[in-house]
Amino acid sequence: MNPENVEAVLILPRLKVQNANAISSHMTWGMPGPSAFAGFVHALQLRLNADGHELCFGGVGIVCHDFEPQVYLPPGRRTRVFRLSRHPVDKDGSTSAIVEEGRAHLEISLVITMAGEGCPVDEAKCNALAAKILAVAHGMRIAGGSVIPHPERGRYPAQWLLWDREDHENSLKNFRQLRRRLLPGFALVSRERLLAQHLETMQKTTPQANALDALLDLCRLNIEPESMDAMDGDSKGKVAWYARRRHRGWLVPLPVGYAAISPLYPPGEVRNARDDSVPFRFVESVVSLGEWVSPHRISQLEHLLWHHDAQPEAGLYRLRNSYSPLERSNSII
């Protein structure tokens, strides 16, 4: 959907997801990637349109209110491990081998842009459609996890906001109201440009540095020494060690889509494909840099949203976000 065609914004607040997949790429674990939520939005659109609605879902904003990974700390160890289960049992009743899987419980809010002939303008119809969409969402899955009703469901109804982009002042007012409904929480945005800038900086001193080196350098804690001579004249030659990050902010490695590792095969050529009616190709995860920011730091709706960006000729299937920290709002809303 073209951002200029947005007619309404749907807020699905405080969705509780149990046992979502916490291993979102071959390199990362934690919060599911944006593709999991974009896939949920696409499946939701298909279900509604199959029921007679003519709706077009666009970008999706992701706000996390709670994240509970299913991990524990074994005795005598310093690192946590996933809680694993042995099921189902074998034919003879013995337990099966463990296939490692990471799970997490989430509480999220989704902001979805809408368009299409099925978008109502009457307030009563808007509320009724929003409630219906929320009820449908409660019977679906997100990142493999089950969506369940919130215990205080009455406090968090789905909301439908009419959106008029030509009225700039009204759009800003509506977005300020929308941000309040997402607090407290953190929105997931892209920092791809920061990753590219940091790679350029590293290559000035280390020409062989690559994007993975830059990603690790931004996301990890760097233990660095600092001379104590300036702090204490009696400490000549001694150093103090400090844990620092390269940049301020809650930066995280983030899977943003998939890159092809095989040619595009005709439908039905690859055995055991999920859908034999469409072309098929093997892919691997594309990892970039993301950041968790408070919604009140985001100045406009478009900076919150993730959009599909498929480039089949280049073998790239990913999602993009246009967040820019230079334009973020510092005001308290």
DSSP letters spanning 268-286? T-STT-S-TTS-B--EEEE
Q: What mean pLDDT is predicted for residues 110-130?
A: 87
Distance CA(228)–CA(74), nearest Å, equals 38
What region does 93 belong to: left with phi over 0, alpha with psi -120 to 50, or beta?
left
pLDDT band at 191 (very low <50, low <70, confident <90, very high): very high
pLDDT, tens digit (0-9, with 9 covering 90-100), for 208-218 = 999 999 998 88
pLDDT greater than 50 at residue 331: no
Amino acid identity, residue 267?
Answer: P
User: DSSP code of 99?
Assistant: -
pLDDT band at 106 (very low <50, low <70, confident <90, very high): very high
Q: What is the pLDDT of residue 259?
A: 93
Q: What mean pLDDT is predicted for residues 269-285?
A: 90
pLDDT greater than 70 at residue 155: yes
End-to-end CA distance of the chain: 29
CB 227 within 8 A of CB 239: yes
Q: What is the pLDDT of residue 228?
A: 56
Poorest-pLDDT segment among 77-86, 108-117, 154-163:
77-86
Cβ burial, residue 29 (10 Å; 0-12/13-18/19+): middle
Q: Is the peptide bond before 32 cis (omega within 30 degrees of 0)?
A: no
Q: Among 332, 331, 324, 288, which residue's Cα sits nearest to residue 303?
A: 324
The tokens describing 41, both together, are 């939005």
pLDDT band at 235 (very low <50, low <70, confident <90, very high): low
The CA distances from residue 305 to 117, 201, 322, in Å, are 22, 29, 8
Distance CA(317)–CA(259), nearest Å, equals 6
Q: What mean pLDDT is predicted for residues 55-81?
A: 90
pLDDT greater than 70 at residue 230: no
Q: What is the pLDDT of residue 233?
A: 53
Q: What is the pLDDT of residue 54?
A: 84
Greater confidence (276 vs 171) lies with 276
Q: What mean pLDDT is predicted for residues 90-99?
A: 72
Question: Domain coordinates of the chain in residue numbers?
Answer: 3-71+99-190
Greater confidence (235 vs 246) lies with 246
Longest CA–CA separation in the chain, Å:
80
Mean of the per-residue pLDDT values for the chain? 85
pLDDT, tens digit (0-9, with 9 covering 90-100), for 296-312 = 999 888 999 999 998 98
Greater confidence (279 vs 329) lies with 279
Q: What is the pLDDT of residue 333?
A: 39
Contacts of 234 (CB under 8 A, 6+ apart): none
Q: What is the pLDDT of residue 332?
A: 39
Distance CA(190)–CA(80), nearest Å, equals 28
CB 236 within 8 A of CB 295: no
pLDDT, tens digit (0-9, with 9 covering 90-100), for 41-64 = 999 999 988 888 888 898 999 999
